[in-house]
Amino acid sequence: MKNTEKYSRGYYMPPVRCMKWAEKEYVDHAPAWCSVDLRDGNQALIIPMSLEEKLEFFTKLVEIGFKEIEIGFPAASETEYEFCRTLIEKNMIPDDVTIQVLTQSREHIIKKTFEAIEGAKNAVVHLYNSTSVAQREQVFKKSKEEIIKIATDGAVLCKEYKKSSSVENIVFEYSPESFTGTEPEFARDICNAVIDIWEPSPDNKVIINLPVTVEMSMPHVYASQVEYMCETLHNRENIIVSLHPHNDRGCAVADCEMGLLAGADRIEGTCFGNGERTGNADIVTIALNMYTHGVDPKLDFSDMPSLVELYERVTRMKVYDRSPYSGALVFAAFSGSHQDAIAKGMNWRKEKNLTEWTCPYLPIDPHDVGREYDGDVIRINSQSGKGGIGFILQQQYGYDLPKKMREDFGYKVKSVSDHKHKELMPNEIHHIFKDEYFNKTSPVDIAEAHYVQKPEGIIGSNVTAVIDGKKIQCSADGNGRLDAVANALKTEVGIDFTVETYAEHALERKSTSEAVSYVGISCKDKMYWGVGRNSDIIVSSIKALVSAINNALSDK
């Protein structure tokens, strides 16, 4: 690319070194969360949500645990105003939930905003004006002093309107919009001017929001800017420092995490990161990142599928398949080595009765976000391995294949997936399994088998076999019933084989459960497998032997 010289770094570092945040390892407690899905997220939609859809989404946000929800810009349109009034008049706002409304620093807009929240119990009035060098020079064409006056005039008006408001609890919030393109010293000065007007106290705190209106720097720069503000704001003990990153450089989540390390107290964002341009900070990701470090985020995403369904329906947006924690494929392992490690990790947890989550390749337990191991974690295509395919059969259908048989079946499944050029669903894998190994009764079948106990543990068998449609009587001895039947058939089926592997287990832990048997025979240096299933373990094993023999004969 030839035009890099036209770009300059439009951000400003603090005038002093601010790196205390870098000494911290992780975010050790949940911030205050404010969902802006219904304002910032809604205004970014091609088709904004209807009143009914916004009401449904609001209810879901409350259910998740959001205590602060920005519901709109009431002075912007009648739809926004009506939504605010509907929530209040229909008593849909729980007593412990605060609605937030946005306003520019203009008197008629501030007046309309206060009218919109009349009757609410708790509200945040969010005042903003742009402060960056680009906005001051190109849009407003005003000096720093004039920009500060816009903010302080609005702060004075908010304070006056609060005096006559019926709202029980009003908290003020101020944002120096385009903070990241503002000199930190100027951002400090304008915020302090507003703080001095609002006079925060322990019972009447003020929110200072530091928006990444446009992401301009790497996250560590933003963290240093946030730390500088936290250390230079007036009356800091009564200030709630809030962050509102956008995602222009793809770093909004990192901006939030590093900003919290730098001293911030609150996050504004959206579920799944919807918002203007590249979107807002993704609260789902930030919260669940904390969760995987053992920190309670104070938000409940245990039913992720229902949240995704609602979000996609009311916003007409799509949660990307690889979105962290929420995407349809984020737990899906197609790779054979990944599947094998996950399956072994799951078995390790079960064997050791572990409570700590340490499963390979899975940073979070899928069950914790409402997902299932068998349908969401192990997914089968031509890249899959024997471990994953065996895992699907075991989890969904109860079949625990011997190790060598898993390899044989794995190749069969991968061959089908490769030929069809598609992912195979569990029911399709089950169908392949039954088709390849079960109830192979041609050209060889057994009509009857009787056994005689002989000295020294020897078993004699008298077998009525059906070979190519003809009944044949044959008999032989062996060191067990299966061995005796195998020896009897060897003289009749036209191939020389050896029983190499035999395994069995009950399909369920009940006295009435059927048994399943697996038999592997070697013939001319190749293994062939069969599976039998019956309430009688002997019948089950003989069925498995016959299926294996027929598989060998079909390969002649």
pLDDT of residue 327: 93
* Amino acid at position 445, single letter: D
Work out whether the CA dihedral 533, 534, 537, 542 comes out positive or negative. negative
Element (H, E) at 125: strand 122-130
Q: Are 310 and 270 in contact (CB under 8 A)?
A: no
Q: Which tokens is 134 given?
A: 């680009």
CA gap 110, 102 in Å, rounded: 9
Q: Which tokens is 111 given?
A: 């007046």
pLDDT of residue 391: 79
Q: Are 486 and 478 in contact (CB under 8 A)?
A: yes
DSSP state of 465: E
Q: Which tokens is 256 given?
A: 């939030």
Q: Which tokens is 112 given?
A: 């309309």
- A 10 A CB-CB count for 399 gives 22
pLDDT of residue 459: 96
CA gap 181, 130 in Å, rounded: 10
pLDDT of residue 273: 97
pLDDT of residue 517: 97
Q: Which CATH superfamily is domain 444-554 in?
A: Alpha-isopropylmalate synthase LeuA, regulatory domain (3.30.160.270)
Q: Which residues pair with 128 in a beta bridge?
A: 104, 175
Domain boundaries in the chain? 16-315, 336-436, 444-554
CA gap 485, 481 in Å, rounded: 6
Distance of CA 266 to the CA centre of its chain: 22
pLDDT of residue 491: 85
pLDDT of residue 378: 65
> What is the DSSP code string of 518-534?
EEEEEETTEEEEEEEEE
Instruction: List Cβ<8 Å contacts ≥24 apart for 417-420.
Output: 417/380, 417/381, 417/382, 417/384, 418/382
Q: Does pTM top 0.75 for this prediction?
A: yes
Distance of CA 110 to the CA centre of its chain: 39
DSSP state of 50: P
- A 10 A CB-CB count for 60 gives 19
Q: Can you tell me whether residue 117 is helix, strand or coil?
A: coil
């976000």: which residue's tokens?
369
- Percentages helix, strand, coil for the chain (3-state, rounded to 5) are 45, 20, 35
Name the stretches of the chain with pLDDT < 50. none
Q: Can you tell me whether residue 109 is helix, strand or coil?
A: helix
pLDDT of residue 374: 61
CATH number of this structure's domain 16-315, picked from the four choices 3.10.350.10, 3.40.50.720, 3.40.47.10, 3.20.20.70? 3.20.20.70
**Nearest residue to 378 (alpha-carbon basis) of 409, 339, 411, 406:** 339
pLDDT of residue 423: 82
The tens digit of pLDDT for each residue in 310-367 reads 999 999 999 999 999 999 888 887 776 887 888 889 889 989 998 899 999 999 999 9
């908010």: which residue's tokens?
158
